[in-house]
Amino acid sequence: MRAALADGRVMAGRYLRHVVRAPEEIVIYFSLPIMFVLVFGYVFGSGMSVPGGGGYREFLIPGVFVMTMLYGIGATATGIAVDVGRGVLDRFRSMPMARSALITGRVTADLARALLETAVLMVCGLLVGWRWHQGIGTVLTAIALLLLLRLALSCVGVALGLATPNPDTVSMIVFPLAFPLSAVSNVFVAPELMPGWLGAVSEWNPISATTTALRDLFGNPGLGSDSWPAEHALLLAVAWPIALIAVFGPLSVRLYRRLGQ
């Protein structure tokens, strides 16, 4: 067990070294949320009004944090698919290391990345006028929620990377998966403004749950909706990731084991 943790740590170090050695990936990776802040915050945002009152950019930023976690699936799945597709996984599996280390290492590295990304986005947010309005404790709770969501999405990404062992296919799957999830949510627009069924999907979307919870915790303007999911956002922001982990964690392990059949 101790050895497995140590192997996982070494493997996490490997993935983090990738970030250092190929910083262009993280630049591309950051450009998307920053672009969303700029495009929606300044271009479309001037034409938007928040139903509950308040500035649109303050409304938008918590959703951008969440969206960034979502798009992290791409990096996770691609990283795993690259390992599976090249011979390096065979080398790992022929060594006396813990076989779980590839997955635990990847997830650990993802969380470290998520922390870095959140920090960078917070600075960006502060620059465009976003603020948190309650104590530092609520900020830390918000960050914990983000990391929990990232952990769940990391499991999804690992499963995806193992199921499609071709890095090119992965990126073709991730975007069509992640984009509707972020668009059909309450990140940009109130679900009430969408057609009925779409609004319902949007209300129950895990992305919406964490976004609403974050708005509440930061004291940012929200939608003021009184629907059940909106009222119980914090509960859903915890329950959704746990459910995803419960499904995709074991699935990842099974897919990983199947590589040796």
Partner 1 sequence: MTSTIVARGLRKRYRGGRGTTALDGFDLEVPAGIVHGLLGPNGAGKTTAVRVLSTLLGFDAGRAEVAGADVARQPGLVRERIALTGQYAAVDELLSGRQNLILFGRLHHLGRREAHRRADELLERFGLTDAAARSAKDYSGGMRRRLDLAAGLLRRPRVLFLDEPTTGLDPRSRNEVWAAVRGLVADGTTVLLTTQYLEEADQLAGLISVVDAGRVVAEGTPDQLKSALGADRLEVVVRDAARLTDAAAILARITAAEPVVDIDRRGLRVPLRNNRVETLAATIRALQEAGITVADIGLHRPTLDEAFLQLTAHHPTSPSTAEAAAAASSPTAAASPSLTAAAASSPTTAASPSLTAAAAPPSPTASASPSPTAAGSSPTASASPSVGAPVSSSEVGA
Summarize as ranges the residues that interact with partner 1 (CB under 8 A): 3, 6-7, 10-11, 13-14, 17-18, 21-22, 82, 86-97, 101, 260-261
Q: Give the chain's radius of gyration (CA, Å).
A: 19
Shortest spacing between CB 29 and partner 1, in angstroms: 15
Q: In the complex with partner 1, which residue's Cβ is closer, 90 or 231? A: 90
Q: In the complex with partner 1, which residue's Cβ is closer, 12 or 61? A: 12
Shortest spacing between CB 90 and partner 1, in angstroms: 5
Shortest spacing between CB 256 and partner 1, in angstroms: 13
Question: Are the beta carbons of 102 and 79 closer than 8 angstroms?
Answer: no
Picking from 223, 218, 232, the residue whose alpha carbon sits closest to that of residue 62 is 218
Q: In the complex with partner 1, which residue's Cβ is closer, 46 or 94? A: 94
Shortest spacing between CB 103 and partner 1, in angstroms: 14
Shortest spacing between CB 107 and partner 1, in angstroms: 17
Q: In the complex with partner 1, which residue's Cβ is closer, 86 or 133? A: 86
Q: In the complex with partner 1, which residue's Cβ is closer, 8 or 206? A: 8
Query: Distance (Å, rounded) from C-alpha 185 to C-alpha 207?
Result: 6
User: Integer distance in angstroms from the first to the last C-alpha of the chain?
Assistant: 24
